[in-house]
């Protein structure tokens, strides 16, 4: 189903998607590890949606090398318009005659990426600690345009076919349709194979994904495999095999049957810039999730939930990102509660509330980016990224659930996902849908009348704090208040039997002290509880943050070392900020040494954090 979108709801695209919609994309790419480029042929099927007979097609591109363009087999007039930061260069294809409303055209382009590509990270064999190179994409929010020309907006969805030639195994966001050995036919022993995939459910551009490297696979459930480096495979399988199918079955009960056939996980090299990315068919995940204690599998509950919120039902623009992440955080916590017990919902929400407070403090409590709906005109969505859409969104949905009662809300959940499946929506569509669902229920209607929609949507800063069930965290708060007195003799046993996430809550409480820990106390804490040596990055990174605030020099070097080992922005950015405050020279030196280890998105953001806006090396 398509509708006329006029004017475009998404301010972060240069495409004229109010005139044409991409209904299908076929990419046929070669992965060239030596030149570090991917390129080949891209075909877009574009459907006209205006009577006005638009005289041009505008597509998003960023730092691409475009060589050839044909439209329905003919060569049209085309040009790359001047770069317009931060959105790239529009590719303009002139149409001699317009295209009738409802008619389709086939646009074919020969294109390749360049060194400036912001979506792809290329890793040398040394960087993967193996014998082969590796590459992967991270396209959310607006980086697909640096891989191929497209309508790079979540407001447009189409099916996708992938034909990828590579000397190493390939993973995409489609279902595999086969592998063909091309070595013989090309008369070489290059080992190059053609990997083909299909995504038959219409997806937005940001869910395009590609990875290639020395990747092995092992089952983690009846419809799931984990893929990662052969040496890391066993540990990854152990971490995930217990929970994956349980989570899938649970989310199916809350919403409806899983639509994407397979749910697989690709565990990436440590420079992967996020905890997880919900690419269809294959969730991409940070290796820091493989902590050996199954304590970080909430990443899977989260990314799996995106199979509904985000992937099936998508935010129409990054201004309404809370619809993706708030709904996903909501489903994630419902899964935690169903699988591990009801108190785990608030256990996770308490950790989330601290992240929300930190984000609000970071931006300042009247900042535009602390609103649930943000104004992104002229802005880069990556700059607005924070815990706010996740946690304000979650708090809002939980509040609505409470207003109408859980039993009734449970009925609304599948209704929402059914109504908007395969479509994109904004916050106003959501509001209208919710109100109409409860229109004939007078009690629910009355409760919804009390909702102050404008404040939730547009007020900056923190929302009202919910009453959390603190049963799993009371021990953590107790221990933290003993530390706060400053007169406490800690012992290793203080945290005996605690889960890693209880330690996380304890460290979050310590960080929130009115008077920060002093150097000596921070050092004692690290040595008594063994935090500095923890294998769980959620713990070490929080401990280092507390110790950096205490200006404890003994953690400066270990922090710098950690910054050379993980590239997940959630850890990297706060650690650089604090290391910069404690020892700027070391922060700058650490960044210079490691910048090629980071994914381009991470490198650019840390550069901005350390050197100010728009810094270019
Ligand atoms: N879709 C996000 C990651 C993302 C957001 C990438 C915006 C690019 C732009 C993903 O689902 C996510 O939220 N990841 C979290 C996982 C966590 C909440 C379990 C992360 O990376 O920390
Ligand atoms: Zn998410």
Share of the chain above pLDDT 70, in %: 97
Mean pLDDT of the region 524-530: 96
pLDDT at position 261 over 50? yes
| Per-residue confidence (pLDDT) for residue 592, from 0 to 100 | 97
Closest CA to 83 of 60, 57, 108, 117: 60
Half-sphere exposure of 205 (CA within 13 A, CB side): 30
Of 324, 466, 325, the closest CA to residue 398 belongs to 466
Residue whose entry in the numeric block shows the structure tokens 């050197």: 611
Distance 423 CA to ligand 2 centre (A): 18
Determine the pLDDT at residue 504: 97
pLDDT of 616 reads 45
Question: What integer is the mean pLDDT of 76-89?
Answer: 98
Cβ-proximal residues to 405 (8 Å cutoff; 6+ apart), any chain: 444
Residue numbers belonging to the annotated binding site for a peptide: 138-140, 273-278, 568-570
**What pLDDT does 186 receive?**
60
Give dist(CA 555, CA 534) in Å, integer. Answer: 14
pLDDT band with cut points at 50, 70 and 90 for residue 128: confident
Pocket of ligand 1 (CB under 6 A): 140-141, 274-278, 298-299, 302-303, 306, 325, 385, 570
Asked if pLDDT for residue 2 goes beyond 50, the answer is no
- pLDDT of residue 207 exceeding 70, the answer is yes
Atom nearest to 301 CA in ligand 1: 19
Cα of 306 vs centre of ligand 2, distance in Å, is: 7
pLDDT at 1 over 70: no
Q: Is the pLDDT of residue 615 over 70?
A: no
Whether the model pTM is above 0.95: yes
- The neighbouring-strand residues paired with 88 are 84
Given a cut of 70, is residue 104 above it in pLDDT? Answer: yes
User: Cα–chain-centroid distance for residue 529?
Assistant: 32
Cα atoms in the 13 Å half-sphere on the side-chain side of 502: 18
- Tell whether the model's pLDDT for residue 408 goes beyond 70: yes
Which of the pair, 207 or 295, is modelled with greater confidence?
Answer: 207
Q: Given the structure tokens 């708030």, which residue do they identify?
A: 326
Region 101-121 average pLDDT: 97
CB 33 within 8 A of CB 210: no
Among candidate residues 54, 66, 149, 42, the one with its CA nearest the CA of residue 95: 54
Average pLDDT, the chain: 96
The DSSP 8-state label assigned to residue 77 in this structure reads -
Active-site residues, by number, are 303, 390
């Amino acid at each position: 189903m398509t509708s006329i979108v006029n004017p475009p709801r998404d301010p972060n695209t240069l495409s004229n998607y109010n005139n044409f919609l991409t209904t299908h994309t076929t990419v046929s790419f070669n992965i060239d590890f030596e030149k570090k480029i991917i390129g080949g042929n891209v075909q877009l099927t574009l459907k006209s949606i205006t009577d006005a007979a638009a005289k041009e097609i505008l597509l998003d591109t960023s730092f691409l090398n475009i060589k050839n363009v044909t439209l329905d087999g003919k060569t049209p007039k085309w040009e790359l318009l001047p770069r317009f930061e931060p959105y790239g260069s529009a590719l303009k294809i002139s149409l001699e005659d317009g295209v009738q409303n409802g008619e389709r055209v086939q646009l074919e382009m020969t294109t390749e990426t360049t060194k400036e590509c912001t979506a792809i990270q290329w890793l040398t064999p040394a960087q993967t600690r193996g014998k082969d190179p590796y590459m992967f994409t991270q396209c959310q929010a607006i980086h697909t345009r640096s891989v191929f020309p497209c309508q790079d907006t979540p407001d447009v969805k189409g099916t996708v076919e992938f034909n990828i030639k590579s000397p190493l195994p390939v993973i995409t966001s489609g279902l595999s349709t086969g592998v063909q050995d091309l070595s013989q036919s090309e008369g070489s022993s290059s080992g190059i194979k053609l990997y083909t995939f299909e995504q038959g459910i219409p997806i937005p551009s940001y869910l395009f994904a590609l990875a290639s490297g020395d990747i092995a696979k092992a089952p983690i459930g009846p419809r799931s495999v984990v893929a990662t480096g052969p040496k890391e495979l066993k540990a990854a399988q152990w971490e995930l095999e217990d929970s994956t199918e349980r989570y899938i079955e649970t989310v199916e009960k809350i919403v409806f049957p899983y639509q994407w056939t397979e749910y697989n996980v690709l565990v990436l090299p440590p420079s992967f810039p996020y905890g997880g990315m919900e690419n269809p068919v294959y969730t991409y995940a940070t290796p820091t999730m493989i902590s050996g204690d199954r304590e970080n599998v909430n990443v899977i509950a989260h990314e799996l939930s995106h199979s509904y919120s985000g992937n099936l039902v998508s935010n129409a623009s990054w201004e309404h990102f809370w619809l993706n992440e708030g709904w996903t955080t909501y489903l994630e916590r419902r899964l935690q509660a169903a699988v591990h017990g009801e108190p785990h919902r608030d256990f996770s929400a308490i950790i989330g509330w601290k992240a929300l407070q930190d984000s609000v403090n970071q931006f300042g409590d009247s900042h535009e980016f602390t609103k649930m709906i943000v104004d992104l005109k002229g802005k880069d969505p990556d700059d607005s990224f924070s815990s706010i859409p996740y946690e304000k969104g979650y708090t809002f949905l939980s509040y609505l659930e409470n207003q109408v009662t859980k039993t009734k809300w449970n009925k609304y959940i599948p209704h929402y996902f059914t109504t908007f499946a395969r479509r994109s929506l904004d916050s106003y569509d959501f509001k209208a849908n919710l109100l109409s669902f409860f229109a004939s229920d007078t009690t629910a209607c009355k409760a919804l009348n009390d909702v102050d929609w404008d404040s939730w949507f547009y007020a900056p800063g923190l929302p009202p704090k919910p009453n959390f069930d603190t049963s799993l965290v009371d021990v953590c708060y107790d221990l933290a208040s003993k530390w706060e007195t400053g007169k406490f003799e800690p012992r290793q046993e203080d945290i005996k039997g605690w889960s890693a996430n209880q330690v996380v809550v304890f460290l979050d409480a310590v960080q929130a002290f009115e008077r920060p820990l002093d150097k000596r106390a921070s050092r004692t804490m690290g040595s008594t509880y063994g935090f500095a040596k923890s294998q769980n990055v959620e713990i070490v990174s929080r401990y280092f943050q507390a110790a950096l605030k205490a200006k404890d020099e003994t953690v400066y070097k270990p922090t710098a070392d950690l910054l050379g080992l993980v590239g997940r922005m959630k850890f990297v950015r706060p650690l650089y900020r604090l290391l910069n405050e404690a020892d700027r020279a070391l922060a700058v030196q650490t960044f210079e040494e490691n910048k090629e280890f980071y994914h381009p998105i991470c490198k650019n953001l840390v550069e901005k954090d350390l050197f100010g806006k728009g810094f270019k090396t």
